[in-house]
Amino acid sequence: MIPSATPYARNVGFLGVLPEFRGRGYVDDLLAEVTRRHAEAGAELISATTDTGNAPMAAAFARAGYRTTEIRMIWSAPVAERE
């Protein structure tokens, strides 16, 4: 886990659990720790992001009390077929 900050808010910069250790609740412990560190440092707002398809991480944020405030979708133009 890497706690980080922008000019606007503290955030969960990175949080990862190695595949062989997933499913044991470590993500909840790590998220609680980064949240605690930011809160103890006086953060009034802590942000975090995850990929839309990363349901396990989204669920971890929800369990920790984080709420979804926005969703960012990245669209790309279709590649033209070559003739």
Question: Across residues 69-73, what is the average pLDDT?
Answer: 85
pLDDT digits (tens, 9 = 90+) for 9-23: 999 989 999 999 999
Whole-number Å distance between alpha carbons of 25 and 42: 26
**pLDDT, tens digit, 9 for 90 and up, residues 33-67:** 999 999 999 999 999 999 888 899 999 999 999 99
CB 9 within 8 A of CB 39: no
Distance of CA 73 to the CA centre of its chain: 15
pLDDT at 8: 87
Q: What is the pLDDT, as a whole number, of residue 37?
A: 94
Verdict on whether the full-model pTM lies above 0.85: no
The separation between CA 29 and the C-alpha centre of its own chain, rounded to angstroms, equals 14
Q: Give the pLDDT of residue 70.
A: 87
The pLDDT value given to residue 80: 83
Residue tagged 């250790």 (tokens): 21
Q: Are 39 and 4 in contact (CB under 8 A)?
A: no
> What is the predicted pLDDT for the residue at 83?
67
23 CA to centre of own chain = 17
Q: How many residues does the chain have?
A: 83
